[in-house]
């Protein structure tokens, strides 16, 4: 009997991390199958040549940012399933989990009599040096129950992909994980768990140049990201499966943030244009995904 195949899907965007090649090779040597999705609008000139051709334990595809990060993950998952994966973990190109950590994320299925699960690590904010969001106090046989997992580190069974459904590519980037997680919980009855002994260090955005914005917990993003943040929030507020308290919290934050984008960030005109475009952008019908 062959061992279960665990695939890791990694969309690539922007500058390639210097340690990517060594990390991918380590994953392969540990028996993990790696799917790299070239998600830049054009091919990277400085991409490691050793990782470009598909090979034993590694598959390389180009998506050219179609559907943003959601499209990158969707294309990669489709390839992983076609290659025979039993388990799939999603990871950003800057995220690092050891092969042992990745294997441990499969433990809840072995210990719990509940197959409809999404499992992720605890997230450590590498910029602020504390846990990202407050860890849940509710647990299920030692695993932490949560309402939301960030996409990076999230692990699931390949057989559950049809029920989970693809990520919403219209969203491109911001709130993709919100939409996917709450849809899985409300429409399909999945439970979301964090493994308390697996920790992923993640850095969100760039350090903000303004002291007030840093104190408020803001990171510096481009005007394009501001457009998606505001446009996608308008859509998120219409989704019945998203808890009311989260919709209220995000609404309150967004009443303040656009003013700070214009007043406290470089590229004021670009930020203002992005805000106006986001407020005027047409939205899909509520609960349309």
pLDDT of residue 31: 93
Does one domain contain both 35 and 115?
yes
Query: End of a domain among 202, 226, 246?
Result: 202
Domain count along the chain:
2
Q: What is the pLDDT of residues 158-214, one digit of tens each?
A: 999 999 999 999 999 999 999 999 999 999 999 999 999 999 988 777 889 999 998
Does one domain contain both 87 and 137?
yes
Taking the C-alpha atoms of 20, 40, 94 and 175 in order, what is their torsion angle to the nearest 10 degrees? -160
Does one domain contain both 246 and 161?
no
Does one domain contain both 56 and 186?
yes
Q: Is 194 helix (H, G, I), strand (E, B) or coil?
A: strand
Query: End of a domain among 149, 184, 202?
Result: 202
For 91, residues 6+ apart whose C-beta sits below 8 A from its C-beta are 8, 9, 10, 97, 152, 153
Query: End of a domain among 182, 202, 222?
Result: 202
Q: What is the pLDDT of residues 33-62, one digit of tens each?
A: 999 999 887 665 566 767 776 778 899 998
Q: Does some domain include residue 289?
A: no
Q: What is the pLDDT of residues 204-244, one digit of tens each?
A: 778 899 999 988 888 899 999 999 999 999 999 988 888 88
CATH of the domain at 140: 3.90.550.60
Does one domain contain both 67 and 23?
yes
Give the pTM.
Answer: 0.91
Cβ-based neighbour number of residue 78 at 10 Å: 15
Does one domain contain both 84 and 217?
no
Does one domain contain both 196 and 62?
yes
Domain that holds residue 264: 206-280
Q: Which two tokens stand for residue 250?
A: 């995000």
Does one domain contain both 178 and 261?
no
């Amino acid at each position: 009997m062959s061992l279960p195949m665990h695939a890791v899907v990694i969309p690539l965007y922007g500058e390639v991390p210097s340690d990517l090649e060594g990390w991918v090779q380590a994953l392969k040597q540990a028996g993990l199958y790696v799917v790299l999705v070239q998600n830049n609008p054009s091919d990277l000139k400085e991409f490691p040549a050793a990782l470009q051709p598909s090979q034993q334990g590694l598959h390389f595809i180009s998506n050219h940012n179609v559907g943003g990060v959601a499209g990158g993950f969707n294309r990669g998952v489709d390839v992983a399933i076609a290659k025979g994966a039993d388990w799939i973990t999603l990871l950003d190109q800057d995220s690092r989990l050891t092969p042992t950590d990745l294997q441990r994320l499969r433990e809840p299925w072995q210990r719990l009599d509940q197959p409809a699960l999404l499992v992720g690590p605890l997230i450590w904010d590498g910029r602020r040096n504390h846990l990202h969001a407050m860890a849940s106090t509710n647990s299920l046989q030692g695993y932490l129950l949560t309402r939301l997992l960030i996409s990076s580190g999230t692990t699931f069974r390949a057989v559950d992909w049809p029920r989970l459904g693809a990520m919403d590519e219209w969203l491109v980037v911001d709130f993709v994980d919100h939409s996917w997680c709450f849809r899985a919980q409300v429409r399909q009855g999945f439970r979301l768990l964090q493994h308390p002994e697996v920790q992923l260090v993640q850095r969100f955005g760039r350090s903000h140049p303004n002291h007030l914005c840093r104190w408020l917990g803001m990171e510096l993003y481009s005007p394009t990201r501001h457009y998606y943040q505001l446009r996608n929030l308008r859509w998120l507020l219409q989704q019945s499966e998203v808890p009311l308290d989260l919709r209220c919290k995000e609404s309150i934050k967004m009443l303040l943030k656009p003013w700070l984008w214009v007043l406290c960030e470089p590229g004021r005109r670009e930020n203002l244009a992005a805000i106006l475009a986001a407020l005027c952008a047409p939205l899909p019908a509520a609960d349309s995904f």
